[in-house]
Amino acid sequence: MISADAEFETLVASLNEHGWGQSAPKFLALWRAAPQNLKFGLMAGAGLLHTGRIAEGVALLSHLTERGHIIRTAQYNTTILPQLRDASHMADKAIRKAYTDVQSKTIDGCDAPGRLATAVWPQTHNGPSPYPPSTQPPDRTRPRPYIFYAPDLPATEIFESADWTQKLSQHTDEIRSEYLALMSRNQDAGTPYVAAQSGFGAEWQSLKGQKSWNAVHLYKDGTTQPEAREMAVTCDVLNTLPVTRQNGVPIEAFFSVLAPGVTIPPHYGLANCRVTVHLPLIVPSADPSICGIRVGEKTQGWTVGQPFIFDDSFDHSAWNLSEQSRVVLIFEAWRPDMSAGEIAAAKASYEARETYLKEISETVRALALPRE
């Protein structure tokens, strides 16, 4: 009995002879039988595109890209079969066009998108990269968001204040008391911020699966966590602020506990239309060289009760070289310099992308079912 790999190689080799009309259903059948095989999926998706089933092809290829970048990068590998390189090139082009169309349609439907009119999803958007390639050492003078980029927003590393910072600051003592009460009841509360199976590089190895950077989440990935029930004041305060939300729930809010002697490696955040907010609760040293944070080229320490607002799409790092833990409440908010129309456009873009991703998942689930 011929193996699936042998059948795949035969199909690829005979493409020029039989064409996609005959081969596409066979590639799709191979992927259905082995949905984790990226080669099978790549050629199945390309077959759908070639035979006019564009939405299904883009959905499958976009779905598979989340499981392996090879779907879009195989086009640059000169050691593999040219048919696979061609399929990868087609996949990359189709995915970019689809996401660009979603974004363009969304922004066109906004009343006053302002500077968000030119925003893009860097990983998926059509056209040239919105910023220069990474350099070594990295360019710390400009943002490099991983997911969403609005190039017309000013490159501002640190925001001195917002119209809601005083309101947040006034509740510092109550929020700290709630945190300390929770930890006194449950000293094991929280989870490692960097999961053990994280795909982060070698420089993160000392933090993977370790509570040396502990996160006590109130909200995570748009889902309310059990600890939120014990943090009534904190959650009430967050509900009065322009935090970023998903289905009405804050996307993320947590107490970040950095143990003595720990340094968080440099990294970039997801978007430059949002800011990261720190409310310092316990700061063991006022000396920023001992306990501090660098955003871009700017370094400073934390002051208890003084909110620290920054664009985490800049290269940034933090450290605690003292002998006590540092604790800050962290959440995301919309940039304080964005208009109501710009915030509405950013929300619409995120919602449109979430809707599109759900549609992709539904399409792939249906595609995986054998057909008569």
Confidence (pLDDT) at 372: 46
Give the SS3 label for residue 46.
Answer: helix
**For residue 41, is it left (φ>0), alpha (ψ between -120 and 50) or beta?**
alpha
Confidence (pLDDT) at 371: 61
Domain 158-334, what fold?
Jelly Rolls (2.60.120)
Domain regions of the chain by residue span: 1-131+339-372, 158-334
Q: How confident is the prediction along the chain (372 residues), in pLDDT tens digits per residue?
A: 678 999 999 999 999 888 899 999 999 999 999 999 999 999 999 999 999 999 999 999 999 998 988 999 999 999 999 999 999 999 999 999 999 999 999 999 999 999 999 999 988 898 776 777 777 777 888 999 989 999 999 999 999 999 999 999 999 999 999 999 999 999 999 999 999 988 888 899 999 999 999 999 999 999 999 999 999 999 999 999 999 998 899 999 999 999 999 999 999 999 999 999 999 999 999 999 999 999 999 999 999 999 999 999 999 999 999 999 999 999 999 999 999 999 999 999 999 999 999 999 999 999 998 764
Contact 346, 106 (CB under 8 A): no
Output the CA–CA distances (angstroms, integers) from residue 118 to 103, 104, 150, 313, 342, in the order listed. 10, 9, 6, 17, 11
Name the strand (E) or helix (H) holding 232.
helix 232-238
Confidence (pLDDT) at 54: 97
Confidence (pLDDT) at 131: 73
Contact 59, 53 (CB under 8 A): no
215 — phi, psi (to 5°)? Answer: -125, 120
Peptide bond into 137 cis (omega under 30): yes
Look at the pTM and tell me if it is higher than 0.95. no
